[in-house]
Amino acid sequence: MWMLAPFALAGKLLSALRKPLGSLWGSVVPWFFWLRSALWLAGGKNTRLPPPRGQGERQESRGEEEEGPDLPTAPTSVNYHFTRQCNYKCGFCFHTAKTSFVLPLAEAKRGLRMLQAAGMEKINFSGGEPFIHDRGEYLGKLVRFCKEELRLPSVSIVSNGSLIRERWFQNYGEYLDILAISCDSFDEQVNVLIGRGQGKKNHVENLQKLRAWCRDYRVAFKINSVINRFNVDEDMREPIKALNPVRWKVFQCLLIEGENSGEEALREAQQFVISDEEFEGFLDRHNEVSCLVPESNQKMKDSYLILDEYMRFLNCRNGRKDPSKSILDVGVEEAIKFSGFDEKMFLKRGGKYVWSKADLKLD
């Protein structure tokens, strides 16, 4: 069939030339497409016309971009547990006092500067209890350094609140964006069962005092609660609304081998564990609380960048905390490869939010 194409073409040309010039274009276009179809039949089904100029290059370029290497993970939000020491004995604690080591201040600042250069926007200081070392002065100097010299958008602390004094706010409150206080119950007897009791000191009464100081010194106030066997049936709606925190982080009790579970652990948290259904029941009961931010075990496990007291990233993917090498020795980009960090889950759980007090309506 395709061998007849030249004769058919000649016939079509003669027919077209007999027509007035005004209609010539209308005749040429159809036989051009007829010719292209004929040549395709001659060359077989695998014959392809070349792409329009530049299109092939663009497609190839897109393919190279899609197959290129992944960009390094940026440590946007980092949790620095610079001490493991604590004055409480919470039975479910998953970062226990396995060492008493704390980095010299100059080395801690060097590591924080490295993190800021790698893309850190928020630092959260935690423990253990961060106010226990040097009566909070070490922590205060780090907070001031991060805000004044590194110019970080957000500097926050997680504390049990028992060792904080108003003088600390007077000296360092202006440099702190968020203070998160751990409070698992508004029943003092439940706090004692959990391990937050300190003799005559009332954890709930102290919480009220800290709330007032945060208001006075313009620090955003946040509450963290671990939902466990002893508080899963508690109704916390009214106390939380009265305290009016900017965020109420509600965690499901989590087992970490070597920390609160297993032969080498300093805690045994099995008695505190609740099911996913029980956790969801607690959330449903409190769904009217607008500041509630829920974090199940699934969301929590791999969505935090955690640095230990040696500035090693802790990988929790296998249900335990496997440390990387210290960023002080190998740099941030190399150490973070072993962090097990799930950036998609970090964003999905709302890990990035309005976290600078300059952007928060603290009044």
Catalytic residues: 86, 90, 93
Residue 312 belongs to what H/E stretch? strand 312-315
Q: Which residues have CB under 8 Å from 250's CB, separation 6+?
A: 225, 227, 282, 283, 286, 292, 293, 294, 295
Is residue 311 within 8 A of residue 328, CB to CB? The reply is yes
Is residue 295 within 8 A of residue 249, CB to CB? The reply is yes
User: Assign residue 128 a region: left if phi > 0, alpha if psi is -120 to 50, beta otherwise?
Assistant: left
Closest CA to 291 of 333, 207, 350: 350
What is d(CA 90, CA 193) in angstroms, rounded to the nearest whole number? 9
Rounded alpha-carbon distances, angstroms, from residue 238 to 54, 210, 242: 65, 18, 6
Residue 42 belongs to what H/E stretch? helix 21-43
Residue with tokens 């253990």: 128
Q: Which residues have CB under 8 Å from 113's CB, separation 6+?
A: 150
